[in-house]
Chains A and B, each alone.
Chain A
Amino acid sequence: MIRDLFMKNRKKHTTTIPSVDAKNDVPEGIMTKCPECKNIILTKDLIKLMKVCPKCDHHLKMTAAERVACLFDEETFKSIDDHLKTENPLNFPAYTEKVESDARKTGLNEAVLTGTGKIDGLEIAVAIMDSHFRMGSMGSVVGEKITRAIEKATVLGIPMIIFSASGGARMQEGVLSLMQMAKTSVALTRHASQGLLYISVMTYPTTGGVSASFASVGDINIAEPKALIGFAGRRVIEQTVREKLPDDFQTAEFLLDHGQLDAVVHRNDMKETISKIVRLHVKGAN
């Protein structure tokens, strides 16, 4: 009797063997799968939705160009310093090749796109990091481009906005990368000394040396929902404190709860929010 029951179960148990082509069921580029809820959506529809999943509201990673498109008034963005080229100061094997390959893949010279543009007619300078390029890590060129953008904002007397998306300092450039934290900081201090506005927008992910420098010291610090933001990596902390960390640890919402952010802003409201903040900082305007 009992054996029969098991036999029944065994019969019911069928396996589906995926076809060889199964992986290509979602054609690369045409469809995109939400990494959070696994919902599959037409990429062109997703881009129209500013890469926010229509099903679960997850904010997918954006390229710097995509961010420009949904932030600036049409055809007002002008990029600067696209010509700067990364070197290999510590002669790390394969570093140059990796940077060149990411440059081809992203169409950027490095992990940040900088320039000026208009939001609702107000001119601002911007640095938009792109995590598709070497995890958005900051080496000499990233530090230099951000510094030059801040200096341009200072000279023009306009607000500076930085969208961070970075794993931190670029290991392959060693202590030169660390010093980019100081370089961008001295530039921000000079910008601030002119009474100019700096807004920091933290997106997924903002960690390590980027989190521990310009990203955390905006006059106003905002973040996208669920963005990972933190100083040390989750695994390192778990090993150090030997306890399980809460699921929402180092999310934008966690930081908001702990007093580290001014606001968590949905991507749909980002342009309007930035525009409002900038307007509220125009001296004597109404």
Chain B
Amino acid sequence: MGKTLKFEEPIIKLREKIVELEEFTATNSVDLSEEIGTLKVRLKNLEEEIYENMEPWDRVQVARHPERPTTIDYITMLFEDFMQLHGDRAYGDDAAIVGGIASFESVPITVIGHQRGKDTKENVKRNFGMPHPEGYRKALRLMKQAEKFGRPIICFIDTKGAFPGKAAEERGQSEAIARNLVEMAGLTVPVISIVIGEGGSGGALALGVANHIHMLEHSTYSVISPEGAATILWKDSSLAKQAAEAMKITAPHLKEMGIIDAIIPEVRGGAHRDSKAQAISIGNAIRTSLSELGTLDGKGLVDHRYDKFRCIGVFTE
């Protein structure tokens, strides 16, 4: 089960208690089945109560869970014949973004996503899923390639943000992100983006100018991390919990604001509890989107994307 999150501690404790009693019964031939039965009912109720009333900050914790399935996990479970394609043809290959060609239910597609690591070693290699410009330029190269061959594009968003570093600035981090925004706007193939973990600011948006945007139930999408927001707004990063609330960064909030198209339900307690079941529901969302967008031609898809982003904003005329 791995790392326990604070808000789910009561569930874990109760679960341990049940296991303890079961072991005791087995070794001591004392019948505690009635007590165990009562505790199991209590566990079920407790799980319902806790998992169905998750606060924004709880969701942030789930979205950041080290065992949460990543882009490569979903690629493996959802697609056949995946071939990873490397490099931006200009500077290097950024391991913080992966992409390639594959097929989804026998339709050839291009898949691209942020890639973080699950342990320290992999996180160092993948720069904690925070891309440099060459990562965004690789993504764009693969998108233009997909457009040439008429393949739909599926993007997985999972990053704290674009990397804030010296080399990233020297190589044009801003331009790399900005270029993806304007180029994605003009793609004549369907683009589907799915936020699977954290959607951090411009670094996330650079894979997010899509026809359809889905979010996993416990993923987040924001202009700044809750810690960053707390620092800027209240000069205190320890108020991140309040900032997570105030900034409206969870899937239900984004759906309410009309920014995303659909929420993909998560397995109880978060995607990491059953990644296979999670992949199935993501697959369902992709299938639905592909069939809806399949009715539009190239110009129709560009116009559809235009209309989608054109109307985002709250103001008085």
Given contacts A89-B314, A171-B229, contact A209 B223 (CB under 8 A): yes
Q: In the complex, how many residues of chain B place their beta carbon closer than 8 angstroms to a beta carbon of chain A?
A: 52
In the bound assembly, the distance between CA atoms of A84 and B209 in angstroms comes to 25
A101 → chain B closest CB, angstroms: 17
Chain A CB within 8 A of B71 CB: no
Classify chain A's interface size.
Answer: 35 or more
**Residue B196 at the A interface, CB < 8 A?**
no
Chain B interface: which of A12-20, A24-32, A65-73, A243-251? A243-251
A89 to B171, CA, bound (A): 36
Q: Which residues 149-187 of B sit at the A interface, judged by CB distance below 8 A?
A: 162-166, 168-175, 177-179, 181-186
Is there an interface contact between A179 and B259, defined as CB atoms closer than 8 Å? yes
Known contacts A144-B313, A179-B259, A183-B312: A171-B165 contact under CB 8 Å: no
Say yes or no: is B241 at the interface (Cβ < 8 Å to chain A). Answer: no
B166 adjacent to A182 (CB under 8 Å): no
A249 to B229, CA, bound (A): 25
Stretch at the interface among A52-60, A121-129, A212-220, A266-274: A212-220
Whether B135 is near chain A, meaning CB under 8 Å from some CB there, is no
CB under 8 Å from chain B, chain A span 208-243: 208-209, 211-217, 229-233, 236-237, 240-241, 243
Label chain A's interface by main secondary structure: helix
Please state if A175 and B246 are interface contacts (CB–CB under 8 Å): no
Task: Pick the residue among A83, A189, A192, A236 that contacts B164 (CB under 8 A).
Answer: A236
A-facing mask of B33-44, CB < 8 A → 1, else 0?
000000000000
Measured CB to CB, the nearest residue on chain B to A172 is B233
Q: Is the CB of A212 within 8 A of B178?
A: yes
**Closest 8 A/B residue pairs (Cβ):** A232-B164, A140-B313, A185-B181, A189-B185, A216-B178, A211-B174, A85-B316, A231-B173
Q: A181-B205, A212-B162, A213-B178 given; name 12 further pairs at CB < 8 Å.
A: A141-B315, A171-B229, A174-B248, A178-B223, A185-B178, A185-B184, A192-B182, A232-B168, A232-B169, A243-B166, A245-B166, A260-B175
